[in-house]
Structure 1
Amino acid sequence: MNTINRRMMLGGIGALGAAGVLTACGSGSAGKPGAAAPATGDGGAKGYEGPNVELDFWNGFTGGDGPFMRKIVDAFNAEHANIKVKMTVMQWADYYTKLPTAVSSGRGPAVAIMHVDSLATNAARNVIEPLDDVAKALDLKQEDFADVVWKAGEYNGKRYGIPLDMHPLGFFYNKTLMSQAGLDPAKPPATADEYMAALEALKGKGIQGHWATPFQFTGVMSVQSLLWQFGGELFNADSSKTTWAEEPGVKALTWFTDLVKKGYSPKNVAQDADNIAVMNGKNAFVWNGIWNINTFKEKKGLEWGVAAIPNIGGKPAAWSGSHQFCLPKLKTPDANKSTAARVFVNYVSQKSIEWAKGGQVPARKQVRESAEFKALPEQSALATQVNDLHFPPPVPGIGDALAELNKAVNEAVLLKTEPAKALSDAAGRSDKILEANRKKYGA
């Protein structure tokens, strides 16, 4: 997916909590508005043999990954004569606004994709239904998936998401610029010392080697990765308090801000300018998402590589997102749709090697460990981080609190506020949001 579209996707974080329409979705029971449609009890494990049924499938795959999902949907439709999946694609920000309203009015889709940071909010407001029957019937277990992505699909003791993928941050580098600075392009820096030495070598050749963007995409993601590497956490164990202003967070934001102060990065880097500069031979290093693989492949003449995020803080860690399947609540129960939707979710989950080609790490271990996936060198390189990935906690409205961290990073990287103060001020605002959300969502 291209950079702009992927940024729009990530911009959905927190948008759901601000929509203000979710409370219209009632909890209800079977047969009442907002109730979960009854399933057959087998979670779709035995397939679907009922009458012809059409399933609306909503997602925000507007960029380069969209055709890959379309190919999977077409294959499913070809193999299931009695199920027709109709895929509707929209920008993620629009999606998160429209979905709850559509569910409330009875016009919601039968199947949807959701980011892990939005699952808890939707679950708390009864927009989506639990999927424990799917996991049980299809014999899906935690050991079938990376631990972190499996747990990310749970809220309040129930499963609301079936993991499809992980899209981690990775280290992309321009091999041509590395060679010009006397660095070995086959051995990208992997430690703090190696990284700083590489930046110094590049600087000696007049190259600002790591442009630090003050925006969420991908500056905030980089700072979060660094915070975890320094041994910190964004929030305490029950997410009642913000902890990013503690020592690990200060170290993380200081390191990132120093890229500007020490001349390894220009000041006031525009959105996406860091990535564009690498493709145009002006910047050597960028930390960007796995979706960037296909963006770089499209740039003719670009000699590049990708590796795991360098271990700057001492503990391997990287930011990641995840797309998870969810089933929106049906205002009018429909057992046929409910069963067919589960059949579709299981099908795509098992066929996710095609999805990986679009720039993703499959959530299922059997797909990640397949020869087909290992034949994708760039995706495989970033998949080595799978046990070191981090997601936001499954707490309703968590995106609203994280928006304050975005502000802190922006202020610090633009050299308007020192890292410690920026983080402390943002943490104070975040704590008030967390408290308000506990009352708002009844947590």
Structure 2
Amino acid sequence: MKKLMCLALALIVFVGFSFGITITMMTPLTGADGAYMDEIVAKFNATHPGIEVVHVVVESSLDMKNKLSMGIASKTAPEIMFIRKFDMPLYLQHFKGFTPEEWLNNYGIDVNDIFPGVLEGLVIDGKVVGIPLDIWIFYMAYNKANFAKVGLDPENPPKTRDEFIAAMEALIPITPAGLTPYYENPAWTWIWFHLLWQHGGDLLTDDFKKPAFAKAGIEACKLMLMMQEKGILPMQVADPGVSFQSGDSSVLITGIWTIQPWMQQLGKDFGYAVVPQLGTTKAVFGGSHVLAMPKVMVEDPKVLQAATTFIKYLWDNAIDWYAAGQTPARISIAESQELKEKLPHIYVVSQESEYVKQFQMFPLISEIEAEIAVYLDEILVLHSISPEEGMKEAEFAVQEILDDYWSRVK
């Protein structure tokens, strides 16, 4: 009997040690991305018997924010959020922060190794409240075979506006009727944001009190309309995936998350490159997944230690995550020979990371984007108003959103 009690006690101690602390991490990762993260979590759990990480997926930004809000209020939130950066502004004061020195000395994470533009907005009162792990950046996907057919060098894709327009015009003769060589959805607002930044603009003023997009936004719209008139870009809503995969269309300016599927589907015909500079400013659309810890969930030092242990593991093994189709937030990895050898496609695209522009950290960015989208639709799809008229009306609508917001937070 005594031996049985000793064995039972030993088993309890062993189980308690094996999974002494359970950490939940909520992410928006589905499909292949989620599978990559599941593998990383499994490796961590296998090598850290005192900690168990549970991966919970909530794809929708709205659902994630609702769950996070309720979780913070009831102290039932995940210990770690792997959250899209533009979903964070409402919660910045609720995340655990450390000074750069504390991150380095206590947890082995050098925030100075993160691209400054990616870290921007995550420093509150001198404390870094989130660690960006990656950058989802725009790149140019193109069909090498189609380039070769019209005499374009498949290994030297266009880099400037003039080169891009000339290349697209050269591709028109081999593009089936009803399609365009750059077959992208003109209603996809992220393309307009990318071009807005490439024309030197931004969405709001630095104090978030006024819209700041009209001048550059007009230029971005004019460029897109010019490409529509030349038969380079569709006039109406388009679904580009099927046409690009079949080889009927030739170019996409799209997110890095598509690079792995296209490589597999197009094989040797698939080309990838940094985005061409179509405006006056060196800029490229991007975003980040950020690791952050709700304060109320890491008050216990043991839980905090477990959570930061996993964050450090992701930091140290980030190249495993980039294989899913993300570029590094860390400068040292973006410039490394290891990345160049293991993931050459990610290495090529990551050379533009220092020029990444991201959404400003204003709580109502999603609402503002949705409002602007209404007028972009009228300009670029319905063709019912001019860029000047559309941007003027969009400015007025966004100012109303801003005025209402500031009247409530004072």
Aligned to 1:298: 264
Letter in 1 for 2:372: L
User: What is the Cα deviation at residue 155 of structure 1?
Assistant: 4.3
Picking from 275, 283, 295, the partner of 2:249 is 283
Aligned to 1:20: none
User: What is the Cα deviation at residue 136 of structure 1?
Assistant: 5.8
Q: Does 1:120 align with 2:95?
A: no
Aligned to 2:117: 148
Name the structure with the higher helix share. Answer: 2
Q: Does 1:338 align with 2:304?
A: yes
- Which secondary structure state, in structure 1, belongs to the residue aligned with residue 307 of structure 2? helix
Aligned to 2:204: 235
- Go from structure 1 to structure 2 and tell me whether the alpha carbon gap of 1:136 and 1:332 turns closer, same or farther (over 3 Å shift): closer
Letter in 1 for 2:284: A
Give the share of equivalent positions with the same residue, in percent.
Answer: 27
Q: Please tell me whether the aligned partners of residues 350 and 367 of structure 1 are also in contact (alpha carbons under 8 angstroms).
A: no
Of stretches 288-297 and 172-181 in structure 1, the one that deviates more from structure 2 is: 172-181
Letter in 2 for 1:221: W
Aligned to 2:132: 163
Q: Could you tell me how far apart the structure 1 residues matched to 2:42 and 2:149 are?
A: 47
- Go from structure 1 to structure 2 and tell me whether the alpha carbon gap of 1:70 and 1:198 turns closer, same or farther (over 3 Å shift): same
- Which secondary structure state, in structure 2, belongs to the residue aligned with residue 107 of structure 1? coil
Letter in 2 for 1:334: D
Q: Could you tell me how far apart the structure 2 residues matched to 1:332 and 1:169 are?
A: 35
Q: Could you tell me how far apart the structure 2 residues matched to 1:256 and 1:65 are?
A: 31
RMSD, aligned CA: 2.2
The CA deviation string for residues 396-429 of structure 1, in whole angstroms up to 9 with x for no partner, is: 2222222222223222210232222212211211
Q: Could you tell me how far apart the structure 2 residues matched to 1:382 and 1:123 are?
A: 30
Aligned to 2:39: 71
Q: Does 1:209 align with 2:181?
A: yes
Aligned to 2:393: 425
Q: Please tell me whether the aligned partners of residues 212 and 257 of structure 1 are also in contact (alpha carbons under 8 angstroms).
A: no
Aligned to 1:262: 230
Aligned to 2:372: 405
Aligned to 2:404: 436
- Go from structure 1 to structure 2 and tell me whether the alpha carbon gap of 1:155 and 1:120 turns closer, same or farther (over 3 Å shift): farther
Letter in 1 for 2:398: S
Q: Which runs of 5+ in 1 are unaligned?
A: 1-48
Q: Does 1:392 align with 2:392?
A: no
Q: Please tell me whether the aligned partners of residues 211 and 274 of structure 1 are also in contact (alpha carbons under 8 angstroms).
A: yes
Aligned to 1:88: 56
Picking from 375, 381, 384, the partner of 2:348 is 381
- Which secondary structure state, in structure 1, belongs to the residue aligned with residue 312 of structure 2? helix
User: What is the Cα deviation at residue 50 of structure 1?
Assistant: 11
User: What is the Cα deviation at residue 384 of structure 1?
Assistant: 1.0
Q: Could you tell me how far apart the structure 2 residues matched to 1:367 and 1:328 are?
A: 27
TM-score for both structures, normalised by structure 2: 0.88
Aligned to 1:179: 148
- Which secondary structure state, in structure 2, belongs to the residue aligned with residue 305 of structure 1? strand
Q: Could you tell me how far apart the structure 1 residues matched to 2:44 and 2:297 are?
A: 26
The CA deviation string for residues 167-205 of structure 1, in whole angstroms up to 9 with x for no partner, is: 111111111222222211111111111111111111233
Q: Please tell me whether the aligned partners of residues 279 and 302 of structure 1 are also in contact (alpha carbons under 8 angstroms).
A: no
Q: Which runs of 5+ in 2 are unaligned?
A: 1-16
Q: Aligned pair count?
A: 386
Which has the higher Rg, Structure 1 or Structure 2?
A: 2
The CA deviation string for residues 11-70 of structure 1, in whole angstroms up to 9 with x for no partner, is: xxxxxxxxxxxxxxxxxxxxxxxxxxxxxxxxxxxxxx9981111111111121112111
Letter in 1 for 2:119: W
- Go from structure 1 to structure 2 and tell me whether the alpha carbon gap of 1:277 and 1:156 turns closer, same or farther (over 3 Å shift): farther
Q: Could you tell me how far apart the structure 2 residues matched to 1:154 and 1:407 are?
A: 33
